[in-house]
Structure 1
Amino acid sequence: MPNRNGTAAIGKAVDGTVLLSMQDVSKFFGSIQVLDTISFDVRAGEVHALCGENGAGKSTLMKILTGAFPVSSGRILLNGQEMRFVHPVEARAAGIGIIHQELSLLPHRTVAENILLGREPSRGGLVDRRRMVTEARDALARLGSAIPPEAPVASLSIAEQQVVEIAKAIATHARLLVFDEPTAPLDTVESAKLFRVIAELRSSGVGIVYISHRMREVFEIADRITVLKDGCGMGTFDAADATPDKVIRLMVGRPVSALFPPRSATTPGEALLTILGGGNAALHDIDLTLYAGQILGVAGLEGSGKTALARALVGDQRFTTGQITFRDGRPAPRSPREAVQRGIAYLSDDRKAEGLGLRQSLRDNASLALRALAAGLALPSIANRNPGRIDALFRDVEMRAADFGVAVGRLSGGNQQKVVFARWLATAPHLWVVAEPTRGIDVGAKATIYALLRRYADAGGAVVMVSSDLTEIIGASDRILVMSGGRILVELPAGSAESEIMAHAVHGPGQVAELVA
């Protein structure tokens, strides 16, 4: 591969001392080169954003830095001293911490046990649990979190687990921290808390590598930006001298405006779902109508009820009050299986825990809903009778995999999400409920998913899109609901301003005019 690396380190950080210098780093897996002479440095008191599509080389570069992969050629200097880590433990001992996009917590242990895992304080030869709880509480407090240190991790939401993951890294007092998509499961308010912590770390001289597909937050917190594409460096530059459009063009060769397809000019179709006074333990007085041909965006903070609404629509957390009528004249489904049989598809916000069998092949994963549908209708397996149909759907969703028979756990996050989309496309649903559809995936995969949802709506389907990413809520939705406290506060038109959505979500409708003025 030709070397397109931009190696010049420009801009001025708070301190300016180079903590990390990766010089002409290359990586081969057998005869395949995945990194080509990448040069990358991080200064004390700097937030250095690392951007690129899935497969660009970001994860490989960071795995080399943290000792998970050996470097094939090149040098790594930490505080001016050359290092060659052969295990992540060595990297941690040298003061390098990483917050992974994929959670690495032990679900059946407490929050405190996870935060201090491998570094448990002791007293008299026994674990000092009182001190463990105190240290864990201090780390959580830095994030503005009141999560109980004694709580089992399995009892927490995905967003709360991500907070614990971040606290775990902060508690090591590392001098260099790598944040890999840390805000993927966080809403805007929680992300703002994280950014305050990052600002505090930055001011104390910690060097930070920040990996994110969200351009808004990259430009909010980064001092410099390095872009990777196909294992090569495309340039390093001051964030102040760049724009999101420039970064995205370097990443994928197209502008940010191309991410969202145009909205349909046709009028909405028939009402597919009507809810009057719907409620359950988490929802109250829900009134809404879903129309064929529309994407309904649902925004709100963590705990606002938006995820509970998605689960109620598909029978996972059933409505217990109100009048709910679907297009078939029947009430809300009583279970997810019944929802599938009635043409309602659900894409969970946690694709690994609830959406995929990571050891199963792409084809097996994409066939799951068809098999459930066939079983419910006492039919032979549709997937077994027409396996080529699944492969055709993979091509429709622009799947990037050489072999559809490989385990889905080996794919990037974007391709894993495409497998879930292919699964539900196979069932030809009337209504599609999608929760955090582009969480933790790259810009190119996002554009593919937005196009899929728009084509589905234009063909007469209805989409309920629950998301913490306000950019996609604004860019992809035909109507926008804002929720808080399990209630729908307001419905806003397509293209509403982010400030107006947040004003409703945080303060309710009474203070909106003053806040957005």
Structure 2
Amino acid sequence: MTAVPALDMTGISKTFPGVRALDGVDFDCRAGEVHAICGENGAGKSTLMKILGGSYRPDVGEVRLNGRLMHLTHPRQAADAGISIIHQELSLLPYRTVAENIFMGRELARFGLLDRRQMHKRAAELLRRVGADIDPEAQVSTLSIAMQQLVEIAKALLLDARILVMDEPTAALDDRDARNLLSLIRGLKEEGVAIVYISHRMPEVTAIADRVTVLKDGQKIWTRARYAAPIPEIIRAMVGRDLKDFYPKRPSSGPGKVLLSVEDGANAALRDISFDVRAGEIVGVAGLEDSGKAHLAQALVGDEPFSVGVMRVNGRPMSIHSPRQATRAGIGYLPGDRKRDALALRQSVRDNALLTLRSMAGLFSRPQSGVLSPAAIDNRLRDMDVRAADFGQEIQTLSGGNQQKAIIVRWLAQASDVLVFVEPTRGIDIAAKAAIYQVMRAFAEAGRGIVVVSSDMPELIGIADRILVMHRGRIAGELPRGAREEDVMRLSLGIAEPEPREAFA
């Protein structure tokens, strides 16, 4: 006799104005199983999970938990039923402590007062369980996006859920933290938790999932056991074609002149930073979460300026102490947390793409003409395949991948000489990643340079012409394109001697 699934969703359909988000989708997950859902942005993954989480009601279809028909109409009702969802877009309160966020809505009380001591103790236990060295009394706004992701996971574990949905849980994590999380998932699986795992990182899917379901355009394409779902077939089902040239071909000619250089740069988080970026090349920056790689990006764009050393742009010494100065010097910046640092969520897609051009325009510039015209920026958005019903709609209504592409359009329109990208494809689907990689390579081949900071090691190895590996605030070594993941990790952990680097030019 077949066991009743912990979760069984049958015939789920959902329509929004002008869009059929789900069309008769069936999905189930057994206790002690990891069932992965794969699909492009807009495939219906998030809508299906929002129905499970009580945020949306299906137009048609049924949701059963352990065989019992459920009518989930509110997220609290879903949580009380044993469902916990870790969303890709974080939902933490930035000016509350970590412990307060973990217990939000489920605070512990003693004699009618908040039991902060017990909340602190329990929060510390949960954080240790996910492998996070975080002070429960730290304010969330002081944490990196990766640390916030671990807090979200700890928050979900508090509920002792029997059905756990993880939407891109490793998107902001470095390789070490991602492996720790996968180990945690295996432990939860052994405890009988049913885990729905959504990710665009295909090696993780095939490493952790027992079954894989592919959605496309709101419909289920197939569900297969992991051994019957090799990565090329998953990708083909997702995008409707093979992605033979996932990473762009290496440029046939060598790099050109030096566009950006740093000599002996240092600040409170960095030391002994010396490297250059040449025309036509993409320089990757790898390292663990605490390696200083994010601080390097912020130093280059004036967010955390170098306090010593020399930084040159096109051969001229520059003292850059703000992102605005960096923009004027020809350096663009795509931050790792797009919602917090890059988007005006209630403004339109078009206005977000024009944000930098407008802020840097001269006093007598005509706001509706030339590069500032709606028609010009709309053409760029279409070229980047930003998918929106209308570029006048609020950007917060777009998927994460389309939001990210709109930010890239902003800097392409600005025509910067050097772009500094932090986690440029975090939470973006396979096809969109390939498109963005092609755009990055085209930008470099047009005589410009890119610095890309990423926690996605295959991404760096595939896209970068060379990789700087950071450890404890300094560059531990430099590796050529196509380096092995083992070489990057050894330098990241500080257990390998740096390779001899070319003399600084």
Same fold judged by TM-score > 0.5? yes
Correspondence for 2:331 among 337, 340, 344:
344
Counterpart-to-counterpart distance in 2, 1:511 and 1:241: 41
Q: CA deviation at 1:255?
A: 3.0
What is the 5 A alignment of 1:111-510? Answer: 111-375=98-362, 378-381=363-366, 384-385=369-370, 386-387=372-373, 388-510=375-497
- The alpha-carbon deviation at position 446 of structure 1 amounts to 0.9
The Cα offsets for residues 174-201 of structure 1, whole Å up to 9 and x where unpaired, read as 0000001111111111111111111111
Contact map agreement 1:436 1:466 (CA 8 A) in 2: yes
> Residue by residue, what CA displacement relative to the aligned partner does 1:88-141 show, whole Å, maximum 9, x if unpaired?
111111100010111111111111111111111111112211111111111111
Answer whether contact 1:110 1:149 (CA < 8 A) is retained: yes
1:17/1:44 contact within 8 Å kept: no
Q: Quote the sequence identity (%).
A: 52
* Contact 1:181/1:211 (<8 A) preserved: yes
Asked if the contact 2:102/2:151 (under 8 Å) is kept, the reply is yes
Tell me the distance in 1 between the aligned counterparts of 2:368 and 2:253.
34
Is the alpha carbon distance of 1:289 and 1:16 closer, same or farther for their aligned partners in structure 2, counting shifts above 3 Å?
farther
Counterpart amino acid of residue 74 in structure 1: G
The DSSP-based 3-state class of the residue aligned with 1:426 is helix
- C-alpha change, 1:332 and 1:313, in structure 2 (3 Å) is farther
Secondary structure of 1:440's aligned partner: coil
Matched, 1:94 2:88: no
Q: Which amino acid aligns with 1:176?
A: I
- In structure 1, give the amino acid aligned to 2:412: L
Q: 1:30 to 1:279 in 2, by over 3 A?
A: closer
SS at structure 1 position matched to 2:416: coil
Assess, with a 3 A threshold, how the Cα gap between structure 1 residues 391 and 305 changes in structure 2: closer, same or farther: same
Query: Are the equivalent residues in 2 in contact too, given 1:371–1:381 (CA < 8 A)?
Result: no
Cα distance between partner residues in 2 of 1:332 and 1:255? 47
Q: Distance in 2 between matches of 1:213 and 1:269?
A: 34
Secondary structure of the 1:18 match is coil
Q: Does the CA contact (< 8 Å) of 2:4 and 2:67 recur in 1?
A: no
- Aligned-pair CA distance for 1:146: 2.4
- More moved, 41-50 vs 499-508: 499-508
TM-score, reference length from structure 1: 0.93
Once the two structures are superposed, what CA deviation does each residue of 1:12-47 show, in whole Å capped at 9, x if it has no partner?
xxx965101111211223574321111111001101
**Matched residue type, 2:365:** P
Distance in 2 between residues matched to 1:438 and 1:465, nearest whole Å: 10
Q: 2:472 & 2:149 partners in 1: Cα distance?
A: 22
**Amino acid in structure 2 at the alignment position of 1:266:** S
Aligned mates of 1:272, 1:61 — CA distance in 2: 46
Give 3-state SS (helix, strand or coil) of 1:509's partner: coil
Q: CA deviation at 1:324?
A: 2.0
User: Match of 1:47, as an amino acid?
Assistant: V
Structure 1: distance between partners of 2:136 and 2:366: 47
Could you say what the CA RMSD is over the residues aligned between the two structures, in angstroms? 1.6
Tell me if structure 1 keeps the 8 A contact 2:6–2:29. yes
Residue type of the alignment partner of 1:62: M
Displacement of 1:507 in angstroms is 3.3
User: Does the residue aligned with 1:185 lie in a helix, a strand or coil?
Assistant: coil
Q: Deviations over 1:34-74 (max 9, x none)?
A: 21111111001101001101110101111111111111112
Query: Which AA in structure 2 matches 1:302?
Result: E
Letter in 2 for 1:237: R
- Return the alpha-carbon distance in structure 1 between the equivalents of residues 10 and 30 of structure 2: 14
Q: CA deviation at 1:379?
A: 4.4
2: CA distance, partners of 1:164 / 1:20: 25
- Which residue of the partner structure matches residue 80 of structure 1? 67
**Separation in 2 of the partners of 1:383 and 1:333?**
31
Shift of the 348–511 alpha-carbon distance from structure 1 to 2, 3 Å rule, reads closer
1:367/1:383 contact within 8 Å kept = no
SS of residue paired to 1:502? helix
The whole-number CA distance in structure 1 between the counterparts of 2:368 and 2:282 is 28
Cα shift at 1:367: 1.1
**Are 1:54 and 1:442, in contact at CA under 8 Å, matched by a contact in 2?**
yes
Structure 1: how far apart are the matches of 2:369 and 2:472? 45
Equivalents in 2 of 1:501, 1:30: separation in Å?
47
Residue 206 and residue 17 in structure 1: after superposition, are their counterparts in 2 closer, same or farther (change >3 A)? farther
**1:50/1:212 contact within 8 Å kept:** yes
How far apart, CA to CA, are the structure 2 residues paired with 1:196 and 1:481? 28
2:57 aligns with 70
Kindly state the Cα deviation for residue 314 of structure 1 after the two structures are TM-superposed: 1.3
Distance in 1 between residues matched to 2:97 and 2:299, nearest whole Å: 29
Deviation at 1:384, TM superposition (A): 4.8
Residue 258 of structure 1: SS of its match in structure 2?
coil
Report deviation, 1:279: 1.0
**Equivalents in 1 of 2:247, 2:114: separation in Å?**
53
Measured in 1, the distance between the counterparts of 2:498 and 2:279 equals 33
8 Å CA contact 1:244–1:256 kept in 2: the answer is no
Distance verdict in 2 for CA 1:123–1:421, change over 3 Å: same
